[in-house]
Amino acid sequence: MTRVAVCACPDYDVAHVTSAVERAVGLCGGMERFVRPGQSVLLKPNMLSAAPLEHRVTTDPALVRAVGKLVLKAGGRIIIGDSPAIDKVSRISRVTGMKEVADELGADLIEFCRPILAKTPEGSIYQALELDEAALTADVVINLPKLKTHCMMLLTLGVKNLFGMVVGPRKSQWHMHVGADRVMFADLLLDIYRTVKPALTILDGVWGMQGRGPNNGTPCHLGLLAASRDPLAMDLALAPLLGAHPASFPLYNAAVRRGLVRSNGADTQMVGDDPKGFIPEDFQLPVLESLMPAPRFMSGAISKHLTSRPVQDPGLCRDCGKCAAVCPPGCLRFVAPHRAVIDHMTCIRCYCCQEVCPADAIHFKTGALVGIVERLRAIMPQ
C-alpha cells in the first residue's frame, strides 16, 4: 500500500512551508528514511521558464528551501537541477529567487547538460534512455513538482516533472518521435519515472496553475502540499480530485494498461488532510484537443483545415522567436514583425510552440473533422 500524504499549507511563509513539509515528509516515514549521512541528494524542482513567481509556473523556492533544510539535517549534500524547456537555469533561478535558496543551502545549482545512456527496468517500452548524469548518479533523487494543468497531457504533477531529466535538445527529438500520440508520450514518461526512481516526491500545490498550462494558464490557490514515495500513486490519487476523469488522463490509461497500478486505486492510501477541502470545485482543466490526423486520401489543403492545428494571434505576439526555436520539425518560421508561419502539413501537433510562447499568442484550433467526430460520439449510444 503506497501512502499519499496531503497537508494544508496556506501560503509560502517560511514557517508555514517548513511545518507543512515536516508533517508531509513525516507521514511518509521521515527524511532519515530516504537520506543517509554523506549521500548526494538531487532536488528536481519544476523550472520551466523565467516567469515571475506569481505566475505560478515554477516550483516555489520556499518549498525547495524547506525540503533542503531537512536533507541537510539528515546529513545529505544537495544538488538542485533541471533542464528547462524555456530559458536557462541561471536566468530562471535569478528571476525566481532559486539562486538565493541554493546559496543558503550551500547547494550546487546545475543545468542538466550531460546525457548518459541508462538501461531501463524490465517491462519498459524503451530498452534504454538518455538522461542527465546527475539524475542517474545522485544517491537520492527528490522530485519537487508544481501542480499544473498541461494542454497535451491534461496535468503535470509528479511523473511529468521527471521529463526534465531529459537534456535540452533531446526533448525535441522525443517530441518528434512521439508526435501527437499522448499514450506514447505517457509511456515514455512512465519509463523515465521507473528508471530515475525518485525516493520521494513533494508536490507544490500551495499555488498551482489551471486552464491552459503549463506556462500560460491561470494561477489557482489550493493551499496544499502532497508527498509520496511514489509519484505515480500521487498523480493518480490527485487527478480525479482535480476533476480529471481517469479515461481522459493519458498517464492513467498507460499505467493501467501496463499493470503498474490497479485501476480501482486500491493500492493507495491517502493520509493527512482531506484533499477535497483544498481543491476548488471549478478547477479548470484544459480541453484536450483531439489530434487525429486526416485520412490519407485527403489532399494537403483539405486535411489542413479538417484536423486540429496550432494557430497564432499576431496581435499578442511579442517577437521573441521562441516558438520557432523550439519547434521540433522546424515547421514554424518566425517572420518579424509578429508572425509565426506554420506549415501544418509537417506540424506534429506537439504543443511545444504553445507551451513556450510567453504571450499566450498560440492556441490550438479544433479541426472540422474532429468536431464532426466528437459530435457523433456525443449522440451515439455508449
Q: Does 320 bind ligand SF4 (CB under 6 A)?
A: yes
Total residues at interface with ligand SF4 (CB under 6 A): 31
Q: Does 142 bind ligand SF4 (CB under 6 A)?
A: no
Which range binds ligand SF4 by CB under 6 A, 135-143, 153-161, 266-274, 310-318?
310-318
Distance from C-alpha of 263 to C-alpha of 66, rounded to nearest angstrom: 34
Q: Residue 364 Cβ, how far from ligand SF4 at the closest point, in Å?
A: 8
In the complex with ligand SF4, the residue whose CB is nearer, 174 or 351, is 351
Q: Residue 44 Cβ, how far from ligand SF4 at the closest point, in Å?
A: 25
Torsion of CA 241, 233, 133, 168, to 10 degrees: -30
Q: Residue 337 Cβ, how far from ligand SF4 at the closest point, in Å?
A: 9
Q: Residue 346 Cβ, how far from ligand SF4 at the closest point, in Å?
A: 7
Which range binds ligand SF4 by CB under 6 A, 156-164, 184-192, 243-251, 351-359?
351-359
Amino acid identity, residue 197?
K
Q: Are 119 and 64 in contact (CB under 8 A)?
A: no
Q: Residue 310 Cβ, how far from ligand SF4 at the closest point, in Å?
A: 5
Tell me whether the omega of the peptide bond preceding residue 328 falls within 30 degrees of 0, making it cis.
Answer: no
Selected from 113, 181, 329, 366, the binder of ligand SF4 by CB under 6 A is 329
Q: Please list the alpha-helical segments (H only) found in the chain.
A: 14-27, 61-73, 89-96, 98-105, 133-137, 158-161, 168-178, 182-196, 231-241, 250-257, 300-306, 322-326, 352-356, 368-379
Q: Does 317 bind ligand SF4 (CB under 6 A)?
A: yes
Q: Does 310 bind ligand SF4 (CB under 6 A)?
A: yes
User: Which grid coordinates belong to 355?
Assistant: 507551451
DSSP 220-264: EEEEEEEEES-HHHHHHHHHHHTT--GGG-HHHHHHHHTTSS-TT
**Residues within the interface to ligand SF4 (CB under 6 A):** 310, 312, 317-323, 326-329, 331-332, 334, 340, 342, 347-353, 356-359, 361-362
